A and B are shown apart, each in its own frame.
Chain A
Amino acid sequence: MLAYILRRTLYAIPILIGVNLITFALFFVVNTPDDMARMQLGAKRVTQAEIERWKAAHGYDKPLLWNARAAGSEKLAQTVFFQKSVRLFAFDFGASEDGRNIAAEIRTRMWPSLALAIPVFLVGLALNISFALAMAFFRATYLDFWGVVLCVVMMSISTLFYIIAGQYLVAKLWDLVPISGYNSGLHAIKFLILPVAIGVASGVGAGSRWYRTLFLEEMGKDYVRTARAKGLSEAVVMFRHVLKNAMIPILTGVVVVIPLLFMGSLLMESFFGIPGLGSYTIDAIQSQDFAVVRSMVFIGSLLYILGLLLTDLSYTLVDPRVRLE
C-alpha cells in the first residue's frame, strides 16, 4: 500500500513538470515579456525604457531558459524559467503583478472559498442521492418519468441564469438575504445561504439523473433478486442492499473533486462578492495578472493529481475486492 502511494506520488512529478512546461510555453514563449509589459502598462505608445523598467521590477528581464552571462549553476538559475516556473514546486509563488504576495493572498482567501464549496458539495451530494433513490424507488411510474424530465430541464439551464434569477428573486425582490458581500466568522452564514442554495440547485439535475442510472444498474443485479426472493420488503432492498452497493461508484466518483473544492467557484464567488480563490482567479484573468494565473494553474493541477490518487485509494477502502499492485 505504502509502496503504491509512493509510486503514484512519483508518477505525479512528470505530470507537474508537464503542466509547468505548458504554462511556461503559453505565458512566455508565445508572448514575449515585452508583450506582457505593454499589456500591463496599458497605453498604446509606451517607450522601450518604460517596458525595460517594468520587466526589471517584475523579474522578467532575464533570459528565458539559459543565462550565458551568469557563472556556474547560476546559468540555469538566473532565468525566467527557473525564477517564475521552477520555484512554484517549492510553493514559492512570488508576487502578483501589482506587487502583493500571492501565497499570503491564497492563505487568507482559501477560507471563504471552503466555507462556500464544502456546504455546496455535502448538501448537493445528499440531495442528489435522495432524489435519485426516490426516482429509482418509484421507477417506471409517472413520478420517475417527470423526475427525469425535471432533471433534464434543470441541467439544460445555464448556471449563470440560476445565479442571476436567484439573486433577483431572493435577494432583491423578497429581500431575504443580502445581495452580495462577505463577513468573517458566523456572520458569514447570511451571505452564504443563497450561494449555497444556488450551487446545489444548479448541480442537482445532472447529479441525480446520473445517480439514478447507477441505482437502476445496481438493481438489475443478482443479489437484488435474491434479496427479493427471500421476501424482503422493497424498502429494505433499496436502503440496505442497493444503496450500500451503489455508494461505491458514487463515492469513488466524487473523491476526485474533493481537493478541487479548495479552488473555489469562479462564478458564484464573483457574483456574490465572496473574497475567495475563485474570485481571485477571475479578477486575475480579467486584469491579465499572469503571475496569479500561473500560480492557480499550478495549484489546480496539484490538487487534481491528489484527487486521482485519493480516488485510487478509495477504491481499496470501499471495495475489498480491489487490490493495488
Chain B
Amino acid sequence: MPFTPVILWTDSLLWLLVAATCAYLWLCARRPHLAAPWLRVARSGAAMVSLTLLAGYGAIGLADSLHFRVALPASAAAAARAYSPQTLSVLDLALSHLRRSEETTYSAPLATRLFTLEETRMPDGSLMREYPRLRHGGSGLAHEADWGVDVAWRVLAGLAGALLVWLPIGALLWPLRRRAPQVPWGAAYATLGAMLALAGPAFALSLAYHVLGTDKVGQDVLYLSLKSVRTSLVIGTLTTLVMLPLGAMLGVTAGYFKGWVDDLIQFLYTTLNSIPAVLLIAAFVLMMQVYIDGHPQLFPTTAQRADVRLLLLCVILGVTSWTSLARLLRGEALKLAELEYVQAAHALSVSHLRILTRHLLPNVAHIIIISLVLDFSGLVLAEVVLSYVGVGVDPSTLSFGTMINAARLEMAREPVVWWSLASAFSFLLVLVLAANLLADAVRDGFDPRVHV
C-alpha cells in the first residue's frame, strides 16, 4: 500500500457529524411532522441558494478531512516501510499542482513575474535589477506577450468544462423537480451554475498561473483559502457537539425540576456568562498551550498537535457558549412543564427521565435547531478575532483568521499587497452570508409563532 490513512480527531468527529445528519434526514423523510418545517425552509429561494453554497463549502471541507501519509521511496536499509512525516488530505492531492508550485515571495494574481525587484547576475557578470519571472506563473508561455490570449483561452476552456458538468446535473434535477414542485430548484441550479462558472476557469487558470497570487513565502493564495475552509467548518460545527448536550441537558433540567437544581444551574451559567468571553477563552487557551508544550510526546506530528489544539478550541468555545441556549431552553421548559400532557405523564407515574426525553426534548427541538444554525456564523467570525488576539488556532493551521492577520502587514506595504485580504474576505463573506441567510430561513420555517 503506497499510503497509510491518518485519522485526526477532528476528522472522525466531522464524519460522525455527517453520519448523524444523514441519520436525522433519514428520520425526517419517514416522519412527516419532522419533515414539514424543513419543507417550509426549502420553499424559500434564499435558503436553497445558501444551501447550495454551503454544500460547496462542505464538499471542500470534507475532501480536506480525509488524511493520509504517503510512503517514502523504499530504501534497502529500512526493513519496514517508512512514511512521509507530512500529513496530506484528499484535497491536497486534488490541488497538488497548487501545493507544489511555490514561488519565492509575493506575486500578483495571474502575474508572470514576481511582485518585488530582485538583483540577478547577467551572463556577462553585471548586476541587473528586475522583476524575475515566476517558476510556475505563466511558465508555459513562449513569449510573455501571449499572456492575454492564453488567459482568455483558459477562461473559455474552463467555462466550457463547467457547462459540461452543469448540464447533466440539470437533467438529474428534473425528476426531483417533478416530485417536489414547490421547492425553488431553479435558484439552487442557478447558484450551482454560478459556482461552476467561477470554479471552472479558476481551475483551468490554476494549471498555469496563480489565480489569486502568492503570499509572502510564495504559497498560492487560492490553495490557502481553500484549505482555510475546513478550519472554519470545524469550528462552526464541532463546537455545537459540546454546546448542544450541555445546553440542552442543563437548560431543560433546570426548567423541569425547578427548586435547587434550577438555582444551581442558573448560578452556573450566570457565573460563566459574567466572565468576559474573550478573557475566559484566552485563559483556557493559555492553559491548554502550557499543557501541549509540556507533553510533546503525546503529539508525534505537527498535524496532530495542531489538530488537538483546534479540537480543544472547539471544546472551549462550546463550554463558553452553551449558556444562551441553556437560558432559552430553561424558559421554554418552565412553560412546558405546566402543560396538561406533562401533568398527565406525572399522573401516570412516568419517570422523570422519560418525561424529559420523550415529552420535553422533542418539544424544544425547534429552539435547538434554530440556535445551532444561528450560532454557526458567529463562531466562524469568532475564530478570526481569536486568531488575531493570539488565542485561536495553531499558527501552523491554515485559517481565515491567520490569513487576515497576515494581511494587516501586507496592507501597510508600498505598493500594497491586497490579494490575500481580498481572497480571505470573499471566501469568508460568502460562507458567513450563506449561513446567515440559511439561519433566517430556518428560523422562519421552525418558529411555531409564524405557522400556527
Contact = CB atoms under 8 A, between A and B. Distances in A.
Interface in B426-452: 428-429, 432-433, 436-437, 440
B361 interface: no
B442 to A, nearest CB: 14
- Majority secondary structure, B binding face: helix
Contacts of B400: 158
Contacts of A168: 411, 416
B284 A296 contact: no
Interface residues of B, number: 45
A155 interface: yes
B280 A297 contact: yes
Nearest to B381: A158
Contact of B388 (A156, A267, A297): A267
Nearest to B279: A297
Contacts of A301: 271, 274-276
Contact of B425 (A18, A35, A161): A161
B273 A296 contact: no
Of all A-B residue pairs in the complex, the 3 with the closest CB atoms, nearest first, are A300-B276, A18-B271, A301-B274
A118 B153 CA distance: 56
Interface residues of A, number: 44
Interface in A276-325: 281-282, 285-286, 288, 290, 293, 296-297, 300-301, 304-305, 308
B385 interface: yes
B391 interface: yes
By secondary structure, the A interface counts as helix
Contacts of B276: 260, 263, 296-297, 300-301, 304
Nearest to B407: A164
Given A31-B287, A35-B294, A285-B282, A19 B404 contact: no
Contacts of A161: 404, 421, 425
Contacts of A57: none
Contact of B429 (A156, A165, A282, A293): A156
Contact of B389 (A14, A15, A18, A282): A282
Given A156-B377, A160-B384, 18 more contacts: A18-B267, A18-B271, A19-B275, A22-B275, A26-B284, A30-B291, A156-B429, A156-B433, A158-B432, A161-B404, A164-B408, A167-B411, A285-B390, A288-B286, A297-B280, A300-B276, A300-B279, A304-B275
Given A31-B287, A300-B275, A152 B404 contact: no
A39 B291 CA distance: 12
B104 interface: no
A296 B279 contact: yes
B270 interface: yes
A56 interface: no
B231 to A, nearest CB: 14
Nearest to B268: A18
Contacts of B367: none
Interface string B260-291: 00000001101111111011101110110011
Interface string A127-156: 000000000000000000000000011011
17 contacts: A14-B267, A15-B270, A18-B268, A22-B275, A30-B287, A30-B291, A152-B433, A152-B440, A157-B432, A158-B381, A160-B404, A160-B405, A164-B408, A164-B411, A285-B279, A300-B276, A301-B276
B436 A155 contact: yes
Contacts of A252: none
A249 to B, nearest CB: 16
A84 to B, nearest CB: 14
Interface of B: 267-268, 270-276, 278-280, 282-284, 286-287, 290-291, 294, 377, 381, 384-385, 388-391, 400, 404-405, 407-408, 411-412, 416, 421, 425, 428-429, 432-433, 436-437, 440
Given A35-B294, A160-B388, A19 B377 contact: no
| Candidate in A23, A27, A164, A288 with the most chain B CB atoms within 10 angstroms | A164
Nearest to A27: B283
Contacts, number: 118
A245 interface: no
B390 to A, nearest CB: 5
B290 A267 contact: no
A158 B377 CA distance: 10
Contacts of B390: 285-286
B274 A304 contact: yes
B421 A164 contact: yes
Point out which of B271, B274, B276, B283 has the most chain A C-beta atoms below 10 A from its C-beta: B274
Given A156-B432, A164-B408, A285-B286, A22 B389 contact: no
A286 B289 CA distance: 12
A22 B287 CA distance: 13
Contacts of B287: 26-27, 30-31
Given A164-B421, A293-B283, A39 B267 contact: no
Contact of A157 (B275, B280, B412, B429): B429
A168 B429 CA distance: 19
Contacts of A282: 389
Contacts of A266: 278, 385, 389
Contacts of B388: 160, 267
A172 B414 CA distance: 11
A39 B290 contact: yes
Nearest to B435: A156
Contacts of A26: 283-284, 287
A159 interface: yes
